[in-house]
Amino acid sequence: MNPAIHITAPSSKSLSHRALICAALATGESLLEGVLDSQDLTRTAECLRLLGATIEPREDKLFVHGIGAATRPEASEPVSMNVGESGTTCRLMAAVVTAIPGIYRIFGEGRMHDRPVSHLTDALTRQGVRVTFEEKDGYPPLVMSSPGLSGGEVTINLEQSSQYLSGLLLAAPLATAATTIRLIGKSVASWPYVALTLDTMARFGVPVILERRILDDWQPCVHAEAANLPPTDIRLIVHPAPYRAGAMRVEGDWSNASYFLAAGAVGVAPVRISGLNPSSAQGDRFMLEILARMGARIEWTDDAVTVFPSALHGVHVDMNACPDIVPTVAAMAAFATGETVISGAAHLTLKECDRIQGPVTELSKAGVNIEARPDGMVIRGNGGLLPREVDMLTHGDHRMAMSFAILELGGIGVHLDNPSCVAKSFPGFWDVWAKVRLGNGFGAAHEA
């Protein structure tokens, strides 16, 4: 077997957004280590600076001087925020700004204006915020005029996105009274991301009470328990509380590690990744479970996990809780033998591109037998791919670009229209991927 390729996981995108937001809302100075440096985080930092926070890089750390939002400063001028293509920035900031009285315009770029926000803005409207959509009803760009949040009972439908709830939660401690958030709808998308919000808020001094309904009563429960409950049996309560400045180190990103974990299984060299938290609350840690179920050999040592070249077989997986690793699993399943069925993830159509149709169209070009389903896809693997040169479209989506790289290990010459779209979450991806290529006997350079 070829020698192991060593990789350090990049920082968690989701935890970086939350750390920056909590620190920026706190009173005093916070020290953040390991915050991801990518296009999406630049957008969040820029939005927070527009609210009055100071975010200063010193060496590899960020010093954040928060605005002390609990003292209810007012935005005297209308504030215009560019959230770029970052859904997390858009949905989290759209809620957070309404806690500070003022007028806010939120706009984005590319696909962002086709990613809905109406369930979130409905919840904010019921709390006294006035919302106007500039182009399409329910989508950015939007203008919000807020007198500040009054708290009370709010309902939210999370079938499309958990980001709506994360936004409401982050804003809620700055309301004048307690906020009770009741979940409605048939299902909750991407529930693990809510744990990242709760954990980060707790680190910055704000507790959230999570409760489940038992008959006519409500009882405290833990996040993992709520994952299996109907949404209408879950509520969250946030009391007014100031965010307290603190220190936080951001752990490694399981989503962006997924390409390398997959590479370990489908290539000819093991891949060893350090910097990942084995007991992380990140839902995309499920990547290891999927690999294991597909037959991959996995070993943990100290802080590193190694995935070894393995004969993979198809699996049936519900990926509602971990949508961001669907493109990775789809590409990996092309190397397996038998059918892989990905289900539970209808919300994939609302990402940076339609992440059901996108992978199906593009992976087909590489000879992958793949079919779309309303809530996922089916991949019928033959144990490998027939080498060929393929022009593939990224649809401007970083996860499409990074997942297609995996096909190179099956002898596919992947030519992407827009490889630089990885900068959304992982600007250094191609440099790190070059190590995988070299370790597998290919040249370092990826051919765009």
Ligand X SMILES: C=C(OP(=O)(O)O)C(=O)O
Ligand Y SMILES: O=C(O)C1=C[C@@H](OP(=O)(O)O)[C@@H](O)[C@H](O)C1
The reply to whether 14 sits near ligand Y by the rule CB under 6 A is: yes
Both tokens of 32, joined, read 């953040």
The reply to whether 399 sits near ligand Y by the rule CB under 6 A is: no
> Using CB under 6 A, which of 24, 55, 142, 189 touches ligand Y?
189
> Residue 14 annotated as binding?
yes
Secondary structure of residue 224 in the 3-state scheme: helix
Output 18 or 351, the one with its CB closest to ligand X: 351
Output 14 or 118, the one with its CB closest to ligand Y: 14
The reply to whether 86 sits near ligand X by the rule CB under 6 A is: yes
Q: Residues with Cβ < 8 Å from 16, sequence gap 6 or more?
A: 34, 35, 36, 41, 44, 250
> Residue 190 annotated as binding?
yes
Secondary structure of residue 347 in the 3-state scheme: helix
Phi, psi of 429 (to 5 degrees): -55, -50
Output 160 or 179, the one with its CB closest to ligand Y: 160
Both tokens of 312, joined, read 């993979």
> Residue 435 annotated as binding?
no
Output 282 or 340, the one with its CB closest to ligand Y: 282
Output 66 or 323, the one with its CB closest to ligand Y: 323
> Using CB under 6 A, which of 16, 38, 82, 88 touches ligand Y?
88
Distances (CA, A) of 253 to 292, 335, 396, 426: 19, 24, 21, 10
Reply yes or no on whether 324 is catalytic. Answer: yes
Nearest to 238 by CA among 188, 190, 183, 177: 177
Determine contact, residues 321/190, Cβ cutoff 8 Å. yes
> Residue 186 annotated as binding?
no
Distances (CA, A) of 270 to 53, 60, 307, 308, 440: 44, 30, 6, 4, 9
> Residue 150 annotated as binding?
no
Determine contact, residues 246/18, Cβ cutoff 8 Å. no
Interacting stretch for ligand X, rule CB under 6 A, among 80-88, 209-217, 223-231, 301-309? 80-88
Nearest-angstrom CA–CA distance, 359 and 401 = 10
Interacting stretch for ligand Y, rule CB under 6 A, among 130-138, 141-149, 186-194, 378-386? 186-194
Relative to beta strand 234-238, strand 297-301 is: unpaired
> Using CB under 6 A, which of 43, 119, 212, 347 touches ligand Y?
347
Binding mask 226-245 for ligand X (x = CB under 6 A): --------------------
Nearest-angstrom CA–CA distance, 223 and 24 = 25
Residue 4 DSSP class = P
Nearest to 247 by CA among 19, 12, 37: 19
Tell me the longest C-alpha to C-alpha distance in the chain.
Answer: 64
Choice among 40, 253, 284, 324 that is catalytic: 324
The reply to whether 351 sits near ligand X by the rule CB under 6 A is: yes
> Using CB under 6 A, which of 149, 425, 429, 446 touches ligand X?
425
Relative to beta strand 5-8, strand 247-249 is: unpaired
Output 282 or 425, the one with its CB closest to ligand X: 425
Site for ligand Y in 139-168 (CB under 6 A): 161-163, 166
Residues in contact with ligand Y by CB under 6 A are 14, 17, 87-88, 161-163, 166, 189-190, 193, 323-324, 347
Annotated binding site for phosphoenolpyruvate: 13, 87, 115, 163, 355, 399, 424
List residues with catalytic annotation.
324
The residues that touch ligand X, with contacts defined as CB under 6 A, are 40, 86-88, 324, 351-352, 399, 425
Binding positions: 13-14, 18, 87, 115, 161-163, 190, 324, 351, 355, 399, 424
